[in-house]
Structure 1
Amino acid sequence: MISPEQLAQLRAQTPGLDKGLHLNHAGASLLPQAALQAIHAHLDLEAQVGPMEAALLVADKLQALREDAARLINASSDEIALMTSGSSGFGSAFAAMPRLQKGDRILVGRQEWGGNLANYQRAAQAAGATVETIPSHADGSVNASALAQMMDKRVHLVSLTWLPANGGLINDAVAVGKVTAAAGVPYLIDAGQALGQVPVDVQALQCDVLKSAGRKHLRGPRGTALLYVRKSFLDKLEPAWVDVSSAPIASDEAQLRHDARRFETSEAAVALQLGLAASVKLALTLGVENLGSISAALAKACRTRLASIPAISLHDLGEGAQSGIVAFNLRGHDAMALKNRLAQQRIYIGANGVPYTPLDMQARGLHSIARASFSYLNTLDDVEQLARALEGMD
């Protein structure tokens, strides 16, 4: 566990905490001082010796990042690629898969993130394939038993957004993995809200691809992401494009790398990657399970407190364990306008519209939701400050 003294020190090492109340960790968390220092130090090095030369000098640190990221998810370092965003990683892996054929099926969870879904739908429309939604349990979570009944030879892949962006639901990603492994069907996981918030074990998940942006619960900088590709799945993937790093030409023939770095490019924001390295190391040191238990407890307290406000409607799904995301609306207020009004008080939350999780939002008749997302950096006083601000707007 993390002691109160440790938490106080972690808060002191987070410069942004004294600038306002940050409750948008599911959007982008606050950088720790160690990440800021790593970024600044490398930019200084680039200014002194040149960006290309500086990158060569820190190659071992970037490899250490891949190794730490692998430890974080129980993978090997050659299964990790450093990307600029979760979207670029997931999109690159999907585009590298064998082409969809007419009649093929893509099966997705109801909470599939809109960016993933848009790629699937566009590819399916072009090929004459279909994108189908896996049935949900009564609590909104993915129904793995129903998925098993959907499996046939036409299923091209199964895709699951593990922790949705529009509420506290935690899908049973392991149960889905058991179904896909038994059927021999590729399994892609969007772990954008999971990494840094819940323990991730790709061996238990039995997934073939998993991605996460670095800027959320890992507390890395924007412009960074991690992509995992299972080693046994890699040779089934032909990248849509390559460069001199991912497929160097030797003896008049371009040779694809034999690791996940076939999805990396020679051009990268090295300073940002070193910032991510510091954040990943912090998560490993503190223990993700410890961090997630704090944010989940704060979110639970927030749900209880907001439920006492008559004008508030809560929109979290799931029974039992929930994540650190709290979805709600305030009667008479558009979610985006509410977000902006709170920002004027230096209370920073998120707000999502239908495009973020279109299947789920439409199924529940929601046009938008306000979203408070907690980190281990937050406190019960923060919960009360948010609640009082909302009561003052009623």
Structure 2
Amino acid sequence: MTQPVLNYIGNFDATDSVVFTYVYLGSERSSANMLSIRENVGDSAPVYEQQQVIADKEHELPAGILQNGKAYLAKIKVKTGDNWSDWSGEIEFMCLDKPNIIFDTIDSSSFVYNDDVLMSALYTQAQGDTITNYQFKLYDQNHITINTYPVRVPATTATTRLSERVSNLIKGKLYYISLTVNTSHDINYTAEKQFTPQYIVPTISGVLQPLVVEDQGQVMMEMFLKQILGTPVKPFIPNRPTDSETYYTYYNNDYVVIPQDNPLMFTKLGMAKASDFIAKVWCMNILNGTFLDFAPELGNGIHIKFLKHDDYIVCEKSFGSLVSRTKSNIVEGLGLKEFYLYIKVKEFRIEMEIVLANS
């Protein structure tokens, strides 16, 4: 009776079910097969030996039968009629845990904060299986391939840190990034993660624009504030319900008077992550004291206040009990004059410059 041949099978995770296939060229059709698996140590006894009645030339090994971290030998025999064939030759394989891949460039909210990102992933594997090569792929929101990056070999100085430069990302668009690794023990594994570029870079351009809504007794404040996806951000006036009468006074539908004890506030700006943005704020008749107040949430998070003095402005940045202060340039006789305040944030430093409007 013809002997079957068990096909090669790659190393796999024992927590997954796996299908073994074989070749049988006998004149009669096989009606069943028996798979036998033992540890690859001496004359070990089988840890799995089961018959499956199936005409197809395959045998499915259920999940959880074997143990990861061990090497095994497998053989198979087939049944035709009432007779069993001889065992096939044994093939060797290993059971290894699936690799674990963490895309650490993508934060817990699935955001990245630039249009050009060095996509980085951290690789680990329980049995210490090393990577021979890897490859990143970028997909759009429909899982259509945008870019297939070259196959790369890990750097000898960082064998578990895998990276690829991903450029020309569009803000607000959903992407998928995949990473396929091939290991020294012939494991081919792919991990995938979705992400969205969000560019947390608040910018203010133009002037503070008041719009009087006379029939409601309110003033609409527009700062031309742009943030991430164009997410609506509006001035928040503390201690004033949105449906109440305005706490501010205005003159000739052009100027809004912001009292010293009730500064204009903007919330939820993502200031902790913002970097290298410029704000240009047009000001006039500014009394000494706080006149701008930026905070991610009222009373919480990193708090940034701007306080005017006779001839300069101080930015006060606080988080809990920690407070840092930055001083602008000095403008003699600033007083209540009309001026532009330029604000630049570079990493965690805030720089300011006062420029008189008529200079």
Instruction: Tell me the TM-score normalized by structure 1.
Output: 0.17
Q: Which structure carries more strand by proportion?
A: 2
Greater RCO between the two (CA within 8 Å, min separation 6)?
1
Give the greater-gyration-radius structure (CA): 2
